[in-house]
Amino acid sequence: MRLHSGWEMHPDGDEVLFLLNGSLELALDRGDETEVVALSEGRMCVVLRGVWHRLLVREPGDLLFATPGPSTEQRSVREHKALQESAR
C-alpha cells in the first residue's frame, strides 16, 4: 500500500518528525532536485522552516510531529510540479 500526501511548507518554524512505527519516505524540495529521506521505526528528521516537503508512506504506521507556528502552506502534487517546471 502506498499513500502520498500533498506538498506542505511551514513558514514559522522547523518541523520535527518522529516515526513511531511503520515506514515512510520524506520528499524534500531542494529547488533543482527532490531529496528523498527514508524513515523507519524509531527514526526522526527535522524539516527546516520554509522547505516544501511531502510524505510517501511505504508501510502505514504512527508519526509524531511537532510543527511550531500558526500557519502551514499547502499545494497539490500537480500544482507543485507545475510551479517547479515554470521556474526552470
- End-to-end alpha-carbon separation of the chain, Å? 33
Per-residue pLDDT of 36-79, as tens digits, reads 999 999 999 999 999 999 999 999 999 999 998 888 999 999 99
Q: Which pTM was predicted?
A: 0.87
CA neighbor of 22 nearest in space, from 44, 40, 1: 40
Q: What string of DSSP letters covers 38-75? A: EEETT-EEEEPTT--EEEEEEEEEEEEEE--SS--EEE
Higher pLDDT, 32 or 11: 11
Whether residue 31 has pLDDT greater than 70: yes
d(CA 66, CA 47): 10
